[in-house]
Structure 1
């Protein structure tokens, strides 16, 4: 195997890990800032005027999100569309929460983001377009039926996440909602993603053994 091929393979393995780091980083900052919000306000008085611990965590979450997007652009050369959309909504709803001193806006952010993704994916299907294929075409090569099924499943999954977020933030405490957002949403998403592998393998236009055959 040539050096360029080795290097490409290494980069391909590292990219999903880097994406996970860039997405998890701001969430972990959000969680720990909410957990130690009062201590942060005592230690850094400049944060006190922001408001409650959750609003302080929101401000730090916004800053961490911007840093994460910039780092993604520098390190990977691009900003994935989903984190970009999510980041924009974080900025808008986070700013509204802090400005109006109302935690409702930041709690509704996941509902808005997931609802938006669901509307785009399911709406695209109504017009005969499997939009998920435009996002992940470089990662998977599927036939048209595969992209339609995968787009439908992800669209419905985003609806599920939006409803689940509404149920949690409206019926439980702010701390419970933060724990759910950080420690439950990501595992649920990972589990759902792994559950799609049989479908991806069935509809893949590039058999798994083909890559190894080409290398030989």
Structure 2
């Protein structure tokens, strides 16, 4: 039986994470009014971070479960493609949040409606980064478990971009609509049709430099994990 219990468990874990993550995001205004901006951010992180860690650890230990549909790991070209895609995915996934002090609630967390750096390329870079990550790891691993995980992650992120745009438009109205009209979900579309222009010096921010260092660290870690 290739359809192991782990296939259903990862779906359950992803469902719980999605409900909690998007649910708490939807309750942000209400929660901040009740307990304050910093305390709500701390609560948000303390609830979501353990769920994310459980997901990552469970995926790691079960990534080869089920049916192995292909195995291309012996091909150098595939290895290069996977590493390039993984590096690109991190460049989209993490610099979308510049204010690291706000994440830790050291500085007062705020919603920033900006169109700089990676956001000029794509309004929802985390979604694009997650899709690229899923493609890379599914190509490398080739298991039914990884395919189910990847499709579920992509489905959640597609919902999340709708949910995020809905919440921001509801909160900020015309201000967000203006940002929405000047940016695109599809990478580089707004640049190609003239709504945006790339400003290269915006990519020299510490967030991007930090991600490049993180990619190098992940490279050495993956050599031990694969």
Q: Same fold (TM over 0.5)?
A: no
TM-score, normalised to structure 2, is 0.35
Q: Give the number of the structure whose residues are more often helix, by fraction.
A: 1
TM-score, normalised to structure 1, is 0.36
Larger Rg, first or second structure (1 or 2): 1
